[in-house]
Chain A
Amino acid sequence: MEFEVLGNKDTRSGFGEGLAALGEQNPNVVALCADLTGSLKMDAFQKAHPDRFFQAGIAEANMIGLAAGMTIGGKIPFTGTFANFSTGRVYDQIRQSVAYSKKNVKICASHAGLTLGEDGATHQVLEDIGMMRMLPNMTVIVPADFNQTKQATIAIAAHEGPVYLRFGRPVMPIFVKPDAEFVIGKADVLAQGTDVTIIACGHMVWKSIEALKALREIGISAELINMHTIKPLDEAAILKSVAKTGCVVTAEEHMMNGGLGEAVSQVLSRQHPAPQEYVAVNDTFGESGTPMELMTKYHIDTPDVVAAAKRAIARKPIII
Chain B
Amino acid sequence: MENKALAGIASQVRRDIVRMVSAVNSGHPGGSLGCTDFLTYLYFEQMHHNASDFQMDGRNEDLFFLSNGHISPVWYSVLARAGYFPAAELGTFRKLGSRLQGHPSTDKNLPGVRMASGSLGQGLSVGVGAAQIKKLNRDNTLVYTLHGDGELQEGQIWEAAMYAAANKVDNIIATIDANGRQIDGDVDEVLSLGDLHQKWVAFGWEVLHMDGHDFDSIRSTMQKAKSMTGKGKPVVIIMKTEMGQGVDYMMGSHKWHGVAPNAEQLQVALQQLEETLGDY
Interface residue ranges, A against B (CB under 8 Å):
30, 51-52, 54, 56-57, 59, 61-70, 72-75, 77, 92-93, 95-97, 100-103
Contacts and interface: CB of A to CB of B under 8 A. Distances in A.
A65 B122 contact: yes
Nearest to B63: A72
Nearest to B156: A61
A68 B126 contact: yes
Query: What range describes how many residues of B lie at the interface?
Result: 35 or more
B36 interface: no
Interface in B108-147: 114-119, 121-134, 136-137, 139
Contact of B118 (A65, A96, A102): A96
Q: Which residue among A54, A62, A103 has the maximum number of chain B CB atoms within 10 Å of its CB?
A: A62
A5 B31 CA distance: 63
Contacts of A75: 133, 136
B129 A66 contact: yes
B60 to A, nearest CB: 10
B105 interface: yes
The 4 closest A-B pairs by CB, nearest first: A65-B125, A69-B129, A66-B129, A62-B159
Contacts of A56: 163
Nearest to B59: A73
Contacts, number: 116
A51 to B, nearest CB: 7
Contacts of A61: 121-122, 125, 155-156, 159
B92 interface: no
A69 B119 CA distance: 16
B184 interface: no
A73 B125 contact: no
Interface of B: 56-59, 63, 65, 105-107, 114-119, 121-134, 136-137, 139, 155-156, 159-160, 162-163, 166-167
A161 B206 CA distance: 36
B129 A101 contact: no
Nearest to B139: A73
A95 B117 CA distance: 11
Nearest to B167: A54
B107 A66 contact: no
Given A69-B125, A69-B133, A101 B163 contact: no
A70 B118 CA distance: 19
B129 A70 contact: yes
Contacts of B63: 72
Contacts of A72: 56-58, 63, 114-115, 129-130, 133
Contacts of B166: 57
Nearest to A62: B159
Nearest to B133: A73
Q: Which residue among A57, A59, A92 has the maximum number of chain B CB atoms within 10 Å of its CB?
A: A59
Given A62-B160, A65-B156, A96-B119, A101 B105 contact: yes
